[in-house]
Amino acid sequence: MTATFLPATEQFIALDEEWSTHNYHPLPVVISHGEGAWVTDVEGRRYLDFLSGYSSLNFGHRHPDLVAAAVEQLGRVTLTSRAFHHDRFGAFCRELAELTGTDLVLAMNSGAEAVESAIKVARKWAYRVKGVPAGEAEIVVAGSNFHGRTTTIVSFSTDDTARDDFGPFTPGFRVVRYGSLDDLRAAVTDRTAAVLLEPVQGEAGVVVPPAGYLRGVRELCDERGVLMIADEIQSGLGRTGELFALDHEGVRADLYTLGKALGGGILPVSAVVGSRDVLGVLRPGEHGSTFGGNPLACAVGRAVVRLLATGEYQRRSRELGAHLHARLGELVGHGVAEVRGRGLWAGVEIAPGGPRGREASEALAGLGVLCKETQDTTLRVAPPLMISREDLDRGIDAIGQVLRTRG
C-alpha cells in the first residue's frame, strides 16, 4: 500500500485516475468543503472560487436559503416521477414563468437535456404550425457554439475534440458565423424552424456579439417566421447583470433554455421556458424525463427564483462587474491581449508569449484562486455573484500577479 504514504491530494487524485473515465483534466486541487465564494481542499488550503461551477454557483456555495429549501423538502418527499402530480410542481412552473415573463415551463434536469428539448419542440412547431414538410426542418446555429455533449448536440459543434469519433451525426443543422447577420440571412430558408444561439458564447471564451446583432436576429426571425431560441444556460439568471443576457438588447426569445444556476449549485435543474404558442405543441408521451420537475428540484428552483426576483444578484453583477472589467482592462497591453464579457463574467485573452491558459490556471491555484482556461489562451473569470468586493479584488490581484508583464 504505497498509496498511503502519498499526501492526501495525491491519494484522491490517484483514486480518480484509476476508477474514473478520463473525460476531464482537472486542476490538481481536491475540494472537500465550500461556503460562499470560498472552497477548502483536503489539506485545509482555502481558495476563492472564480469559476462557480461554470456559473452554476451564482449564489455561492451552500447559500442558506437554498440549503434550507432543500433540507425542508428532503423531510417531505423527493421524487414522485411525473406519473403523479406533486405539490411543488405547479408553483415552481408558475414562479419561473412569472420571473422570466413567459407562459409555460418544460422542466428537465441537465442543460443538454433542455437544449435537446428545445430542438424537439422547435421541430414539432415547424411541422405543425409553420407547415414545413415532414422531416425537412432545419435549425440554424452559430460556429464555436457550446450547447452540451449529446450526440445530436455535438452534431452541430464546430469543435473537433467534441465531434471526432462520435458520428454518425444528426442532420438538420446549419452552422453560420457568430455575429454575422448577413450569414444568418443567407442561411434561413422556408424550412428553417429556429435559430439557436448563446447570447454570449461562454465556452468559446466569453464572446459578446457585435452591438445590435441579437436585435437583428430577432427581427430576421420575425420577418421569416422562425423561432429564436436563446441558450441562456450559462449567460442567464443574473450572470451578465440582467436576468438574461438578451435583456441587454431589449430582445425577447421565443424559447429560453435554462440550467446551471437554476439548481442553485445543489442539484441539476434545467428548463425550457417560452410562449404557449410554441411549448403548447407537446402532447402526453411525446417528451419527458423521470427526474424532470421532481419535488426536490422544484423546491430548490423556487428558492432560486425568489433570490433572482429581488434583483439583488443582477445588481451585484452589474456593479461588481463594472469594477472587474475596469481592473482587468488595466492589464491590456501588459500581458493581456483583450478582456471580453459582461457583468461579473470575463474572458481574459492572454497575450502571445504569456503562459498557456492551463499554466495560468495552475499558477492561480497556487495563489489560492480557482479559475479555469477555456480554449488554450483564455481564462474564464466567473466568481459567484454574492462575492464581496474585497474578495473580488483579492482574486483580481492574483490574476495580475500571474499575467502582468512590464512594458
Among the residue ranges 19-27, 143-151, 174-182, 312-320, the one whose residues contact ligand PLP (CB under 6 A) = 143-151
Q: Which of 89, 92, 146, 156 is catalytic?
A: 146
Among the residue ranges 7-15, 32-40, 141-149, 347-355, the one whose residues contact ligand PLP (CB under 6 A) = 141-149
Q: Which is nearer to ligand PLP, 132 or 237 (CB)?
A: 237
* Chosen residue from 234, 240, 314, 378 binding ligand PLP by CB under 6 A: 234
**Cβ 196 to ligand PLP shortest distance, Å:** 10
How many residues bind to ligand PLP according to rule CB under 6 A?
A: 15
Site string for ligand PLP, 361-390 (x = CB under 6 A): ------------------------------
Residue 260 is among the residues annotated as catalytic for this protein: yes
Determine, following the binding rule CB under 6 A, whether residue 289 of this chain makes contact with ligand PLP.
no
Residue-by-residue DSSP string for 189-257: -TTEEEEEE-SSBTTTTSBPPPTTHHHHHHHHHHHHT-EEEEE-TTTTTTTTSSSSGGGGGT---SEEE
* Chosen residue from 34, 148, 241, 347 binding ligand PLP by CB under 6 A: 148
Q: In sequence order, which ranges of 330-388 are alpha helices (DSSP H)?
A: 357-366
Contact between residue 132 and residue 126 where contact means Cβ atoms under 8 Å apart: yes
Among the residue ranges 23-31, 78-86, 230-238, 242-250, the one whose residues contact ligand PLP (CB under 6 A) = 230-238
Site string for ligand PLP, 104-123 (x = CB under 6 A): ------xxx--x--------
* Chosen residue from 95, 116, 138, 198 binding ligand PLP by CB under 6 A: 198
* Footprint of ligand PLP on 10-69 (CB under 6 A): 54
Among the residue ranges 145-153, 172-180, 212-220, 322-330, the one whose residues contact ligand PLP (CB under 6 A) = 145-153
Q: Which of 49, 260, 291, 391 is catalytic?
A: 260
Side chain identity at residue 374, one-letter code:
T
Residue-by-residue DSSP string for 134-192: TT--EEEEETT----SSHHHHHT---HHHHTT--SPP--EEEE-TT-HHHHHHH--TTE
- What is the CA 64 to chain-centroid distance, rounded? 22
Residue 190 is among the residues annotated as catalytic for this protein: no
131: its cell numbers? 407547415
Which residue's beta carbon is nearest to the bound ligand PLP?
Answer: 111
* Chosen residue from 88, 123, 147, 342 binding ligand PLP by CB under 6 A: 147
* Footprint of ligand PLP on 244-273 (CB under 6 A): 259-260
Taking CA atoms, 310 is separated from 16, 89, 273, 306, 316, in Å, by: 40, 22, 20, 7, 11
Instruction: Tally Cβ neighbours within 10 Å of residue 35.
Output: 14
- What is the CA 292 to chain-centroid distance, rounded? 18
90, 135, 3: which is closest to 298 by C-alpha? 90
Q: How far apart are CA 265 and CA 77, in angstroms?
A: 20
By the 10 Å C-beta count (0-12 exposed, 13-18 middle, 19+ buried), 350 is classed as buried
Q: Which of 41, 49, 231, 254 is catalytic?
A: 231
Q: How far apart are CA 173 and CA 147, in angstroms?
A: 13
* Chosen residue from 146, 156, 173, 345 binding ligand PLP by CB under 6 A: 146
Site string for ligand PLP, 200-219 (x = CB under 6 A): --x-----------------
Q: What are phi and psi of 340, to 5 degrees?
A: -115, 170
Q: How far apart are CA 56 and CA 109, in angstroms?
A: 13
Residues found near ligand PLP in the complex (CB under 6 A) = 54, 110-112, 115, 146-148, 198, 202, 231, 233-234, 259-260
Q: What positions carry a catalytic annotation?
A: 146, 231, 260
